């Protein structure tokens, strides 16, 4: 219908109606003859010095006006640039701050001297290396007082940066639970970024589950205690800590085992903190590991406590079967571990899912864990149980479990191999994966599959 355009030099307006009350045809005033010139006496001539002085005053005035205009334009441009930058930052809303200074990090926690860490780890020797992943390497160290530590040294090629490091330091220092790894401090010196944890002697869960020899050390009682310990740690993060925290990267390689084989959740670089009654959020920066991410998070960037519940369900099924979901391949037309488990569930052959190294297991306890695992990996996040419900299911065998629905990502046997070098930079492969590729399931024609059930 109309509009206004405002700029520094002019304003433009347009409308479908008249701007004024009057006729479109306006009459011009009659032309009159100009008045006769009147002779005016000229002023007396001024001395040359006064003329030069007047010209100097005029030049000074012009210069002052020009300088004032330039300064005003600079100030206005600076203000506009600041406002534009601020609005852009607000629109961006990053998950993890990128503009973190080293002073800000070192002021948040106990800092370690680089020389102390070099001495403790024998200058980061290979003999003290505990493991290596996409973030870098982990080394065992021993301080002068005899305390053993684990030093996570971020590689310069790592996708994790100072923002993730700050995120982990800020979160873990506020958390105290027996099923969470303890963070002692950090080191930012000589272009090094390191985190110092308590030393956990038995490394990570994946080295036991998916190793041909060490898996023999995990009988059912130990596996069941590991499942319950992980559940207690997640319950603390979601409900019992001062802050609600979503881990977002729960997987077997991020579960450490102490000397008593008790689990400790680690690696909070991708964790998100919620305040108040907030239970879910959105992000454009998907971070996690294929095979453990909930479908609503991997596809739409929506994450919540139910995202961790999905990852926990994957872990439970991996602990029971001894098979890894990421990279799972089966000649029996099973595209992944969830597909494999669901087919055995529908056929009533759940006990065939158990790791062959397990014997003399309490049947009902195993079946209940498989049932609970399927409930945790349902496609609809609303249908998944909360961690308080999961802990109750594990500790009380009289609680009736609902019938699970078909899990997510069950789309047949077709798999797509993704070279890690070509994946999104925000994704990183499992630390225990020794290959150069990871896998994810998809349908043959890359469209969704709908299965119709009669009422």
Q: Which of 215, 438, 227 is nearest to 314 (CA)?
A: 227
Q: DSSP secondary-structure letter at 42?
A: P
DSSP for 129-195 reads EEEEETTEEEEEEE-TTS-EEEEEEE-TT-S--HHHHHHHHHHHTT---TTB--EEEEEEETTEEEE
> What does the CA dihedral 294, 300, 302, 305 come to, rounded to 10 degrees?
-10
Determine the Cα angle at 174 with ends 393 and 191, to 5°.
120
Does residue 221 have an active-site annotation?
no
Determine the Cα angle at 377 with ends 372 and 383, to 5°.
85
Q: Is the torsion defined by CA of 198, 203, 204, 205 positive or negative?
A: negative
Determine the Cα angle at 93 with ends 98 and 109, to 5°.
40
Distance of CA 317 to the CA centre of its chain: 24
- Give the three-class secondary structure for 126: helix
Spatial neighbors of 311 by CB under 8 A, at least 6 apart, are 247, 249, 250, 251, 292, 293, 294
Spatial neighbors of 329 by CB under 8 A, at least 6 apart, are 415, 439
Point out the catalytic residue in the list 249, 267, 339, 433: 249
Cα–Cα distance, 181 to 125 (Å, whole number) = 24
Tokens of 402: 């609902």
Q: Are 389 and 421 in contact (CB under 8 A)?
A: no
Half-sphere exposure at residue 230, Cβ-oriented, CA atoms within 13 angstroms:
27
Cα–Cα distance, 169 to 158 (Å, whole number) = 17
Spatial neighbors of 316 by CB under 8 A, at least 6 apart, are 227, 369, 370, 372, 373, 376
Cα–Cα distance, 293 to 440 (Å, whole number) = 11
The residues carrying an active-site annotation are 249
């Amino acid at each position: 219908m109309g509009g206004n355009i405002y700029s520094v030099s002019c304003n433009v307006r347009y409308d479908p109606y008249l701007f004024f009350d009057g006729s479109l045809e306006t009459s011009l005033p009659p032309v009159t003859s100009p008045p006769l010139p009147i002779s005016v006496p000229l002023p007396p001539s001024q001395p040359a010095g006064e003329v030069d002085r007047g010209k100097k005053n005029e030049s000074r005035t012009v210069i002052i006006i020009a300088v004032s205009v330039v300064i005003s334009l600079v100030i206005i441009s600076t203000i506009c640039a600041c406002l534009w930058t601020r609005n852009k930052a607000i629109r961006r809303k990053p998950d993890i701050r990128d503009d973190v200074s080293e002073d800000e990090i070192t002021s948040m926690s106990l800092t370690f001297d680089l020389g102390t860490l070099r001495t403790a780890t024998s200058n980061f020797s290979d003999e003290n290396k505990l493991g290596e992943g996409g973030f870098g390497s982990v080394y065992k160290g021993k301080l002068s007082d005899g305390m053993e530590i684990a030093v996570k040294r971020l590689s310069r090629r790592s996708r994790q940066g100072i923002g993730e490091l700050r995120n982990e330091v800020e979160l873990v220092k506020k958390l105290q639970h027996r099923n969470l790894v303890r963070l002692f401090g950090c080191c930012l010196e000589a272009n090094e970024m390191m985190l110092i944890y308590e030393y956990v002697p038995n490394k990570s869960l994946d080295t036991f589950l998916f190793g041909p020899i060490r898996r023999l050390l995990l009988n059912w009682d130990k596996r069941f205690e590991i499942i319950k310990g992980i559940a207690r740690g997640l319950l603390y993060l979601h409900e019992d800590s001062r802050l609600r925290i979503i881990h977002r990267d729960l997987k077997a390689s991020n579960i450490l085992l102490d000397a008593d084989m008790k689990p400790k959740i680690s690696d909070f670089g991708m964790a998100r903190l919620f305040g108040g009654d907030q239970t879910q959020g959105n992000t454009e920066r998907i971070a996690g590991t294929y095979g453990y991410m909930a479908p609503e998070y991997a596809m739409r960037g929506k994450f919540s406590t139910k995202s961790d519940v999905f990852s926990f369900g994957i872990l439970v099924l991996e602990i029971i079967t001894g098979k890894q979901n990421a990279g799972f391949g089966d000649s029996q037309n099973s595209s992944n571990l969830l597909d494999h488990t669901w087919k055995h569930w529908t056929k009533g052959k759940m006990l065939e899912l158990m790791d062959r190294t397990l014997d003399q297991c309490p049947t009902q306890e195993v079946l209940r864990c498989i049932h609970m695992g399927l409930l945790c990996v349902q496609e609809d996040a609303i249908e998944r149980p909360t961690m308080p419900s999961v802990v109750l299911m594990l500790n009380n065998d009289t609680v009736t479990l609902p019938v699970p629905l078909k899990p997510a990502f069950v789309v047949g046997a077709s798999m797509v191999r993704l070279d890690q070098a070509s994946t999104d930079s925000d994704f990183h492969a499992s630390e225990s994966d020794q290959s150069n590729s990871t896998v994810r399931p998809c349908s043959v024609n890359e469209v969704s599959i709908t299965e119709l059930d009669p009422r």
